[in-house]
Chain A
Amino acid sequence: MPSPTPAATEPTELIEALREADSSMGLLLATRRLAEACHPGAATSLVEVLGFNNPGAAVAAVDGLIALGEQAVEPLLANLDGHNYGARAWAVRALAGIGDVRGLELLESALACDIGPSVRRAAARGLGQLQLSALSQSEQARVRQRCLEALLAGAGDGEWVVRYAVATGLEQLLLGMEKTDGAQTEGLGALQAFAGDPGDDTPVVRLRAELALERLADQARN
């Protein structure tokens, strides 16, 4: 990893190289270099790459945005592309990876009503991994409750991959809760409905929920 660049040096040349990339591979390499610079000035350009329909470059851009952490949240929220669900999926994925609680509202509405299954799936994953340690106890409980409600509603999604992501989101959310918490019981109920008999129509969703229940049971024992 390169050492962090002093904030004074804007990554202008790297952004220029990204603009001038004229092939799919060129764009991928330029995006990787810009992402590795790990400079807040790169965030907006990395967000733009999410809309270029180049999956390799988008992966690199998402990694770069996640590495920037909370500095990338505002650029992501401000530049969400209402017309391109591919781009939204990558952006929601970046927000999910960062786990900043400012993304909560977006994750909720994305899971509830985005037309793109890839967007809903990334949002479900994100709702399980918000970083709450900086918040007060009561604030944490309030945010967790909102995440839980969004995930419980998402458990009825018509796409298997969204239900799969809901199972992972519930697992992570419940691992962070006290088992005396009534909300945990509700979340466990949803996982049991996926894993039970007959359970979810899609075998891989049943298996993922089973795995989540095993992990939660392990945690309860230790």
Chain B
Amino acid sequence: MVVAPETIDPSPAAGAPIDEAEALRRLRQSEDLSAQYYAAWWLGRMRCSNPEAIALLCHALSQRQPRQAEAGVEHNAVARNAARALGKLGQPGAIPHLLQALADPDDGLREAAARSLGELGASEALEPLCARLASGPGVAGAAQLESSRLQEPCEAMLEALGALGNSESRVLAVIEPFVDHERPLIRSAACRALLQLTGDSRWGEQLLALLDHPQLQVRRAALMDLGAAGWRPALEPIRRTLAENSLKLMALRGLVENGDPAQAGVATRLDDDTTALLAVMDDLL
């Protein structure tokens, strides 16, 4: 994914901090799209669990609006932000709505829906994701006419397949061709998914090679992907990568939290291996 060195919270449209009631009010109205956009983001950021918030966000998935490049507003901005928020709220009730969004003509909305379905661990998304990627790098992974975007949002979909955790050979067979995609960010996402699903170090080695890529954007993505996979042999290469400490810290957090194979599913313990990871993190603060 395209990674920013760090996230600075956007300032609310009205200036003052808002509360849940205000966010719900803004999302409920439909006159002011930027207020809805902010409200959707806010509810996700605050991990709001109010049932009304879930219902309003699901409803917002069907909202359509044109892109306004000059105002920095993306196509279907409210729907996309609602899809992103639903991934953070952990409510399975949102899954059918997100599956519908995964079939939308807007690839940006499909992208947001794919990520969120992955975050929610929605096994129902496995088949549609595989179906959309099955045509491989040459079709699903081909660039759209007059756009830098691909036919399918491959990175998000590959990441989602990795997150869903199904390592049947038919799933791996859909992902594997993308490790040869011409774009390094897609290769990185494919290796991440395969590393998560198989634990096979050859995918980890390919991610390590991307940490030396001449483009900073690629190095950042490989850092995030190694963190997501929690592949601990990457500790030293991550420490040496020419990238912002913020991203290295996020990657190392991933190694700590996702990377204790002996303890899969159990909270990481403070063993020597973990203590060594924390020492490297301390040095990056």
Residues of A near any B CB (own CB < 8 A)? 28, 55-56, 85-86, 89, 93, 115-118, 121-122, 124-125, 160-161, 164-165, 168, 202-204, 207-208, 210-211, 214
Contact = CB atoms under 8 A, between A and B. Distances in A.
A125 B285 contact: yes
A207 B242 contact: no
Given A89-B245, A118-B246, A203-B267, 13 more contacts: A55-B243, A115-B8, A116-B8, A117-B7, A124-B285, A161-B250, A203-B256, A204-B256, A207-B268, A208-B278, A208-B281, A211-B278, A214-B270
Contacts of A125: 282, 285
Contacts of A208: 278, 281
Contact of B285 (A116, A165, A207, A211): A165
Given A56-B242, A210-B270, A204 B257 contact: yes
Nearest to B11: A115
Contact of A203 (B6, B244, B268, B282): B268
A116 B270 contact: no
Interface string B255-285: 0110000000001101000110010011001
Interface of B: 5-8, 216, 242-246, 249-250, 253, 256-257, 267-268, 270, 274-275, 278, 281-282, 285
Contacts of B246: 117-118, 161
Contacts of A203: 256-257, 267-268
> Which residue, B243, B245, B253, B275, has most C-beta atoms of chain A within 10 A?
B245
Contacts of A168: 282, 285
Nearest to B46: A158
Nearest to A203: B257
B70 to A, nearest CB: 24
Contacts of A202: 253
B142 to A, nearest CB: 31
A202 B253 CA distance: 9
A161 B249 contact: yes
Contacts of B250: 161
Across the A-B interface, the 4 shortest Cβ-Cβ residue pairs: A56-B242, A125-B285, A204-B253, A165-B285
A117 B6 contact: yes
Contacts of A160: 253
B268 to A, nearest CB: 6
Nearest to A85: B8
Given A86-B5, A117-B246, A122 B285 contact: yes
A204 B253 CA distance: 6
A118 B268 contact: no
B253 A211 contact: no
Contact of A55 (B244, B257, B278): B244
A207 B6 contact: no
Contacts of B282: 125, 168
Nearest to A96: B285
A124 B249 CA distance: 15
Contacts of B6: 116-118
Contacts of A161: 246, 249-250, 253, 285
A118 to B, nearest CB: 5
Contacts of A124: 285
A64 to B, nearest CB: 17
A118 B242 contact: no
A69 B253 CA distance: 30
A171 to B, nearest CB: 9
Given A160-B253, A211-B275, A118 B245 contact: yes
Chain A CB within 10 A, most for which of B243, B249, B250: B249
A194 B281 CA distance: 17
Contacts of A89: 245
18 contacts: A28-B242, A85-B8, A93-B285, A117-B7, A118-B6, A122-B285, A124-B285, A164-B249, A164-B285, A168-B282, A204-B253, A204-B257, A204-B278, A207-B268, A207-B274, A208-B281, A210-B270, A214-B270
B237 to A, nearest CB: 15
Nearest to B274: A207
A26 B245 CA distance: 21
Nearest to B5: A86
A121 B253 CA distance: 15
A124 to B, nearest CB: 8
B276 to A, nearest CB: 11
A207 B275 CA distance: 9
A202 B250 CA distance: 12
A160 B268 CA distance: 17
A145 B250 CA distance: 31
A132 to B, nearest CB: 20
B125 to A, nearest CB: 26
